[in-house]
Structures are given as C-alpha cells and as structure tokens.
Structure 1
Amino acid sequence: MCESSAYMITPEGETKIMDYVVDIIPNDDGSLTLSDLLGGTKIVQGRLKEVKLLKHKIIIEGIAV
C-alpha cells in the first residue's frame, strides 16, 4: 500500500491531520486539498514542507490565517 499519513507542524508542535492520504492537490488560494483512500477530503491552510516516502509521512507547515 502507498497511503501516507499527513501531519501539520506549527510552533506548538506536530499534529496528525489525516490518515490514508493518496492525493494532495494545491489550490489557487495557497491551501492544499488532501484526499484519502475512501474518498474523504480535507482542505488545509499550509505549504508542503516534506514528503518521507519510505516512512509514508507527509509534513505540511501551517500558515497563520
């Protein structure tokens, strides 16, 4: 399986925001749309910081809104 877990990092620390992520789509407003294996979606304000393919980990840096 190639699904990954997405984590948001902020000055307060790291928080898991979604499991089984299969797609990441950047939006025109600077946000990211994450989609999971079952078709669920989540829109987050942040920028893609790092993807660790062997660890199945996606790290998104939070943007203050």
Structure 2
Amino acid sequence: MCESNAYVLTPDGEKMVMENVANMKVDSGKIFLTGLLGDEKTINGIIQEIKLLEHKILITEKA
C-alpha cells in the first residue's frame, strides 16, 4: 500500500499520530485526517512538509 503516515513534530522528534492516511483536508487551521479503515483525527496545526517518497506527512501543532 502507498498510504502515508502522519507525524506531529515535537522537541523530541516525530510522533506518529495516524498510520495509513487515506485522505487529508485542511480547513481554517485544522487538519482532518481519515485513515484507510475510516478512523478520523483532527489536529489543530499546519503542515510543515509532505515527503512523498517516504510516505510521511509532517505537522506542527498550534497551541
């Protein structure tokens, strides 16, 4: 499978928040992630980088 994994950037490194992200939507400073099996997660933050070859979505959370 070619789905990406989403990570939040922390001072200690990358923390995985969702595996197998099938859909991602950004609206009003929120990132809505939907997994391959329909699980959902909302993160208040901004996308820092998407590494397509590594299947990684890197996110910085906002306070």
Whether these two folds match at TM > 0.5 is: yes
Q: Mapping of 1:1-65 within 5 angstroms?
A: 1-28=1-28, 30-64=29-63
| RMSD (CA atoms) | 1.2
Runs of 4+ residues deviating >3 angstroms: none
Question: Equivalent residue of 2:38, what SS?
Answer: coil
Give the unaligned 5+ runs of structure 1.
none
Question: Equivalent residue of 1:2, what SS?
Answer: coil
Q: How many residues align?
A: 63
State the 1:61 CA deviation: 1.0
Q: TM-score, normalised by structure 2?
A: 0.89
The Cα offsets for residues 15-62 of structure 1, whole Å up to 9 and x where unpaired, read as: 10000001110122x110000101111000110111111111110011
Q: Retained in 2: the 8 A contact 1:7–1:58?
A: yes
Give the unaligned 5+ runs of structure 2.
none
Question: Equivalent residue of 1:60, what SS?
Answer: strand
Distance 1:26 1:49 in 2: 13
